[in-house]
Amino acid sequence: GSPLEWIMRFQGVGFVPNIVVQCIQYLWDELNTNGLFQPASVDDLEVLIDRYNAGQKINFELENLDANLVANLLLKFFEMLPE
């Protein structure tokens, strides 16, 4: 993971990193999804993380990404933060 200071300097919106804002905005309408935070496909999650790390712009809605995958991306982001 990258230090939070680096993320905020280069990718932050106010005090919240872009990835967090984007995930929450997408998941807001998906809160009633059963099993929203159940484990997603590890392969799909790794591909999504690699795309973010490469600086690609990802539009969850246009790509019709599964809400479960986006929820897992958000969880993984917090897991990867340094202590």
pLDDT in tens, 32-57: 888 888 999 999 999 999 998 888 88
70 pLDDT band, cuts 50/70/90, is very high
6 pLDDT band, cuts 50/70/90, is low
Spatial neighbors of 83 by CB under 8 A, at least 6 apart, are: none
Using the Cα atoms of residue 70, residue 72, residue 78 and residue 79 in order, give the sign of their dihedral: negative
Instruction: Quote the DSSP letter at residue 81.
Output: S
The predicted model scores a pTM of: 0.80
Neighbours of 33 (CB within 10 A): 14
CA distance 26 to 33: 12
